[in-house]
Amino acid sequence: MYNYSLKLIYNTLDDDDVYRNELMKVFGMHSYNGVTINNTINNELIPLVKDHFQLVYKTMNKYNKFPFPLDESVCMTLLLSWEYFYLFHLCIGEIKENKIENSITNLISELKKTE
């Protein structure tokens, strides 16, 4: 289960180890497990954000530098990268608590900067 209440700090530091540790913590892992991450993405996160992330997916595909379209699962995986994880995590928390403010807008703004 995804721990949306974890307070992330990796983006305030210049330490990849903190990022990796926080990524594993939100997925409840002590060591990296791609199967656990993919299962959580497909069974928990994609259904959770379904009604809120259509513009996120559209933006990601518009600014996509890959030679193929991105499906929801690939978008989610990319949102777990160092650049977007803290913003994505805030979105998950707001959606989970049904208190959506500006996290999705902030994420989309950051995605557009990749142009």
Q: Share the mean pLDDT of the chain.
A: 94
Cβ(88)–Cβ(80) below 8 Å? yes
Question: Quick one: CA dihedral 33, 2, 7, 93, positive or negative?
Answer: positive
> Residue 80, Cα to own-chain centre: how many angstroms?
4
Among 34, 24, 5, 29, which Cα is nearest to 92's? 5
Among 82, 60, 90, which Cα is nearest to 73's? 60
Q: Please give the model's pTM, rounded to 2 decimal places.
A: 0.92
Q: Express each pLDDT in 13-35 by its tens digit.
A: 988 999 999 999 999 999 999 99
Q: Express each pLDDT in 41-74 by its tens digit.
A: 999 999 999 999 999 999 999 988 889 999 999 9
- Block residue for tokens 């990849």: 16
